[in-house]
Structure 1
Amino acid sequence: MAHAVTFWIPDLLNKLRVKEAELALKSLNLPGLQTILARSDRFASKPQSFYQQASFLFHQKECLPIAATKASSELKEFDSRQFWLSVDPVQMIPDRDTLVLIPSEDLQISEDESKQLLATFNAHFAEDKVELIWARPNHWYLSIVQPVDIKTTSIDEIAYKSVNDYYPTGNAAQYWRQLLNETQMLFYSHPVNEARREKGWPEINSVWLWGEGKINPEEITTRMDSAVWSNNTFMKGMGKLAQAQVGSSPVSYQAWLNCIEQSETPRINKHFICLDSISNELGNLQQEEWIELLKKLEADWFAPLIESVKQGTIDSLLVDLGQDYRSHLKQSHLRRFWRLKKSLSKI
């Protein structure tokens, strides 16, 4: 059975990184990747958030509500009838007349610290019936019976920026702004932060609310013939809500092929592969490390993908690597001999 594959590595070949590495890319030979980029049909890709892009690539009508989608894959007692918010413990650093948000990933929050802060928060806001749900040390949730008129900014967008222009808006905004202020006072004097200050560690002195929304089953496109391969909680939740098969992000094409050959659900022939763990590391890579990553991806993915298209194992390959276009390749496209492979510096 032939397979249709969507292969996504967010931001791998963004324009700035390619421009900075122009000299190194001129002599870099990656025939699999270069063939994909040269012979495929191109479709414009407008800038979108990770969540919008994921929803689009998985053929959803619109971006699924972020917190609810993530919670559906992460919480055992998820209730799709509730309105959900993500609540991330963060650090707010004073900077003149504003506060700059440092995301939880930079704070090395232990499970014990996280649960202590969450318990204090829940005790303080018990009268308001606002209760946080623990998921991971750096990620909590809040579920509400009735939808709330609130519009927030994603933690990905606000990280390392001034929060002045990004506080919640909407009819319920005043209450949630007050909640953020009270939380800052509550956490400032907490034993967790007193211990951190003594050690010279960054404080966990606030929270950020984001990803609001409620699941609408009528807006979810069912994908029972599909599989989502990713370690990302949003991706896993999206697959679960769409009734698709969900698996971990494969380490290589061969590892993925082994998984589908051993699958007990042969009806699955559409695959959405997202190497999100690679994307998460891109910001920390030096140019030399990024070049080595491209070489590894050529061996582990791009060359085998091209070979599978040649053999007909894959009859439709859509590749999204963070450029301003997506590449769609079919077996017949490989006969476009007049489309010469270009240096990666020219892509």
Structure 2
Amino acid sequence: MIPTHTTTLWLPAWARLADQLAPGDVLHRIAARADREQVDAGDEARVARRFDILPRGLPVAALTRQLDAGDAMQFTWLRADPGHVRPDMTSVRMLACGDLGLSPEECEALLKPLKPLFGDEGFPISAPHPARWYLCLPQEARLPVFPPPREVLGDDLLAHLPEGDTGQRWRRLLNEAQVILHNHPLNAQRSAAGKLPVNTLWFWGGGRLPDHVRSAVSQLRSGDVVLNALAARAGVPCVADDAVDSLPPGALLDLRGLHDAVLLQSHWLEPLLQRQRRGDFDTLELDFGDGHLLRWKAGHRWRFWRRHVPA
């Protein structure tokens, strides 16, 4: 039986790798001879191509809460991750969010004065993971749109806060939380020890756990907690392994953080092409962050006349 599985690699933007290539390189050859498609760019679009989520959307907080604590059913969840901001002459810039190296004991100390603030609003706050804090909201809660931390880091935090009547409530809660954290003695201790103080929260990723998540992916290899949470919901095995020989047909390999074209080609592409020629899988799909999509089949190596690579 001829396998028809597609093995997929998620890669950084094509432009990050293209400048490192020379004619004759494996990736250069694939880019010239493979079938090409321009698709929607960005991680949410990539997720939608590999996971069928109903209702549509990507409720990050509910998915990661289920992974962290297993209790996400029947509530709406909002991430309230610890962060560090630094004011300058004209703005308040977000410099860190999520992983600030907090211990569980530090989390509990910081949460203690925050619990009355959010509890009085009916939004209990908790931290089953030091880098991922959560607000538990009623199912019917209406939330403004909060951008993910990656869109806020390095920028003026105030420019990303929601507007309108609904947004006003969350701006107030954020301001009050910042005052509480600014005055917390633990932050003075962290500063004295050369660690970043936790002086803000960032709300994002709100929503309810999807009714179902389905995927044809046979195995996920990724260090991204959202992807792992999504895969767990879909029943897709998540494996921490960088061995090419054990990668099953139909796997999704997350290499978005790999910007070294030489390493990509030697450690991943060349061994995968050898396996493909042996008939282990049918199609190798390279999904780049800027919307370039390449689909390579073993027979494409005979397309000698194709030398042009995407811009």
TM-score of Structure 1 vs Structure 2, range by shorter chain: 0.7 to 0.9
SS of aligned partner of 2:108:
helix
2: CA distance, partners of 1:125 / 1:294:
47
Paired residue for 1:114? 107
1: CA distance, partners of 2:108 / 2:144:
26
Query: Does the CA contact (< 8 Å) of 1:52 and 1:63 recur in 2?
Result: no
Query: Does the CA contact (< 8 Å) of 2:94 and 2:157 recur in 1?
Result: yes
Paired residue for 2:156? 162
Q: TM-score under structure 1 normalisation?
A: 0.78
Paired residue for 2:297? 330
Q: Does 1:247 align with 2:251?
A: no
Q: Does 1:317 align with 2:309?
A: no
Instruction: Deviation per CA, 1:9-67: give whole Å up to 9, x if none.
Output: 2x2x442x457xx4x6448x632x2332222111103332x234223333557432121
2: CA distance, partners of 1:224 / 1:306:
21
1: CA distance, partners of 2:300 / 2:94:
47
Tell me: CA distance 1:56–1:185, structure 2 relative to 1, closer, same or farther (3 Å).
same
Tell me: CA distance 1:323–1:198, structure 2 relative to 1, closer, same or farther (3 Å).
closer
How many residues are aligned here?
307
Instruction: Deviation per CA, 1:256-300: give whole Å up to 9, x if none.
Output: 2xxx4xxxxxxxx53222135xx1xx6xxxxxxx5xx43232222
Instruction: Deviation per CA, 1:59-117: give whole Å up to 9, x if none.
Output: 557432121122222223232x2111111111121122321112235743333222211
Paired residue for 2:118? 125
Tell me: CA distance 1:304–1:66, structure 2 relative to 1, closer, same or farther (3 Å).
same
**Farther off after superposition, 166-175 or 88-97:** 166-175
1: CA distance, partners of 2:277 / 2:53:
29
SS of aligned partner of 1:56:
helix
Q: 1:307 aligns with which of 242, 254, 274?
A: 274
Unaligned runs of 5+ in 1: 261-268, 283-289
Alignment of 1:197-346 (within 5 A): 197-217=191-211, 220-223=212-215, 226-242=218-234, 244-256=235-247, 260=248, 270-275=250-255, 279=257, 293-340=260-307
Please tell me the residue identity of whatever aligns with 2:279: G
Q: TM-score under structure 2 normalisation?
A: 0.87
1: CA distance, partners of 2:156 / 2:166:
22
2: CA distance, partners of 1:225 / 1:248:
13
Paired residue for 1:7? 9
Tell me: CA distance 1:200–1:250, structure 2 relative to 1, closer, same or farther (3 Å).
closer
Shift of 1:123: 3.5
SS of aligned partner of 2:227:
helix
Shift of 1:224: 6.3
SS of aligned partner of 1:254:
coil
Paired residue for 2:37? 43
Query: Does the CA contact (< 8 Å) of 2:219 and 2:239 recur in 1?
Result: no
Query: Does the CA contact (< 8 Å) of 2:9 and 2:253 recur in 1?
Result: yes
> Percent same amino acid at aligned positions?
25
Shift of 1:171: 4.4
SS of aligned partner of 1:164:
helix
Q: CA RMSD in A?
A: 2.7
1: CA distance, partners of 2:182 / 2:65:
28
Shift of 1:323: 4.3
Of Structure 1 and Structure 2, the greater helix share is in 1
Query: Does the CA contact (< 8 Å) of 1:87 and 1:142 recur in 2?
Result: yes
